[in-house]
Amino acid sequence: MNSAIRRLAVAAIILMLALMANSTYLQAFRAGDLNGRNDNRRVRDSQFSVNRGPILVGSVPIAQSKPSNDRFVFQRTYPQNIAEAYAPVTGYYSYLFGRAGIELSQNSELNGSDPSMAFRRVVDVITDRRQQGASVTLTLNAAAQIAAYNGLAGKTGAVVALEPKTGKVLAMVSRPSYDPNQLAGHDLNKVAANWKKLTEDKSRPMSNRAIKELYPPGSTFKLVTAAAALSSGKYNPQTQVRSPAELDLPQTTVKLPNENGKNCGGSDNATLTVALRNSCNTAFGSIGLDLGPDALRDQAEKFGFGERQLPELGAAASQFPTDPNAPQTAQSAIGQFDVRATPLQMAMVSAGIANGGNVMKPYLVQNIKTVDLKTVSETKPESLHQAVSPEVANQLTQMMIDVVQNGTGKPGQIKDVQVAGKTGTAQTTPDKPPFAWFTAFAPANDPKIAVAVMIEDANVPRNDIAGGALAAPIAKAVMEAVLGQ
């Protein structure tokens, strides 16, 4: 009998210890994860009663909490006139569907629960003051953001603008967009109906095309191919490159043609500068065959391909094909085959060239401050890769200036400002329109902004789709907004 009681007592002690250990583990190591779960209703109820900090562009809130006369105490709001313009960045804050964008990535700072704000919470308890979240100030330029949003009106596409010397994101727009207020309301039946409508919309308004979607970059990728060529030491801007109307490819009877069906600039052997000016497929296909896939991939990776930038917003990594054969390498050299890039990535290519070959790490959060303006954190610029040498960067810059002054990029010209840019028109499937691209930076001699514009669908005839005609004017407007033109 005593033996049985002892065994029962030991078992009870083991169970109690296991329970204590599990409780300690949950509180010490899992509390943050559990509290951060979107389906944790207890935490959601508590957080909806917190005066959540604002998300700011300059000193203007693009998301803020206001008192409400219901059980949630505060209502998250987004300014009606600009909510859709900033939605890809702010994301949403919803009782039913959790958080997205900055509302998700900076959630603990915005609701005041971050460990870095522990002292502030103690002070709030002592002074019997309601917990209040920190403000998050973004790097965005309001004028550039609105210019990009307006420029994409009636189109499906995205715009990303960067400050080349720092990596600050100056604009990030995706259209079609949505109004985050539709998901932040306290009428939960209406919120659920809005969610259903948004998620079933075939235009995918909640998709951030600027950073989450991958597209064939088309001829904008020729900047990467040109960078690889110049960096190899085998080419300079005046090197003659084979550029007939059609390029014979090895291992196949299929030929690579120029878009206009003619040779490059009136010659079967154009200089690299002329080839970029006229965006000649055969010239860059020839370079791709000469350099090989490894050199192209290595150069692409130096610009950021294969890496996820802004992972806190769920950004996708741009891709260069793993093991293309010779014909596929020629296609890859002109941004086709399986080359895929985000608008953010192509903005990084231009920004890297603009910054003397030094690609800076993109960032969107400038600083985080408590309600009494004490700085919790501040982002410092960080170099990501030296993609090309300053000499090569200067050569590419001069070639890109030529594209805008004399070539396919003329619609991107700005009065009294020298612009360096590159157009692109990327073919997809016969049932889909081509993607129109333009990437550029300005002023060319002292760059303040680098931008990439991608138009997925402009609702125009297929023959009217071109990067210069559709994307360049939008890029021009965004650059002018930053430059005060």
The amino acid occupying position 392 is V
Give exposure, 147-179, as e/b (b: 16+ Cβ within 10 Å): bbbebbeebbbbbbbbbbbbbbbbbbbbbbbbb
Which helix (H) or strand (E) segment holds residue 131: the answer is none
In sequence order, what are the residues at sequence separation of 6 or more whose Cβ sits closer than 8 angstroms to the Cβ of residue 64?
A: 52, 54, 55, 76, 77
Per the CB < 8 A criterion, the answer to whether 440 and 404 are in contact is: yes
With beta carbons less than 8 A apart as the criterion, state whether 104 and 93 touch: no
Within 8 A by CB and 6+ apart from 377, the residues are 116, 367, 368
Residue with tokens 């709030």: 124
If 0-12 CB within 10 Å is exposed, 13-18 middle and 19+ buried, where does residue 214 land? middle
Active site residues per annotation: 219
Q: Are 241 and 287 in contact (CB under 8 A)?
A: yes
What 3-state DSSP class applies to 389?
coil
DSSP 465: -
What is residue 28's DSSP assignment?
I
For tokens 């297929």, the residue is 462
Q: CA end-to-end span of the chain, whole Å? A: 93
41 contacts: CB under 8 Å, gap ≥ 6: none
Its sign, for the CA torsion 50, 51, 57, 61, is positive
The answer to whether the CB of 329 falls within 8 A of the CB of 339 is no
Distance CA 66, CA 75 (A): 5
385: left (phi over 0), alpha (psi -120 to 50) or beta: beta
Cβ–Cβ under 8 Å, residues 368 and 377: yes
DSSP tag of 53: P
